[in-house]
Amino acid sequence: MPAAAVIENDIRQLLDSPSSGDEAPTLAHIEDALTTGYAHSMALEAEQSRLQRRIADLAVELVDDDDALPDPELKRLAQELKATCRSLAGLRTLLDSLRTRADAARPA
């Protein structure tokens, strides 16, 4: 299972678990998941930037090409960028929910 799926699955399990009682996750466990999730979010943002730069570079190269045929690498990169953006948006939503859960678990 890819790391992203594992991280998202862990966050979903924490969100689905009881908020109090013996079955409730500890604040430390929630915060560990947040840290891991934010680290993965930063990695996705870096990948997103890399893909955007490569797409821009290819677009500039195509402008100089008289044939200007669609480039298969450009299509592949665009698909990867779309998937990365989707993963990042989903992870951010989960992290927002988990952050709310962590705030509620902190002592007043």
If we measure between CA atoms, which residue out of 78, 75, 86, 77 comes closest to residue 4? 86
Backbone angles phi, psi at 87, to 5 degrees: -65, -45
> Can you give the pLDDT at residue 18?
94
The Cα–Cα gap between 44 and 12 comes to: 19
Query: Structure pTM?
Result: 0.83
Token look-up 């500890």 returns 26
Q: For the domain that residue 49 is a member of, what is the CATH number?
A: 1.20.58
> Can you give the pLDDT at residue 66?
57
> Can you give the pLDDT at residue 102?
95
Residue 21 falls in which region: left (phi positive, over 0), alpha (psi -120 to 50) or beta: left
Question: Where in the sequence is the domain holding 60, given as residue range(s)?
Answer: 3-105
Domain count across the chain: 1
The Cα–Cα gap between 61 and 66 comes to: 10
> Can you give the pLDDT at residue 42?
97
10-residue averages of pLDDT along the chain (108 residues): 88 94 94 97 97 89 65 84 93 96 88
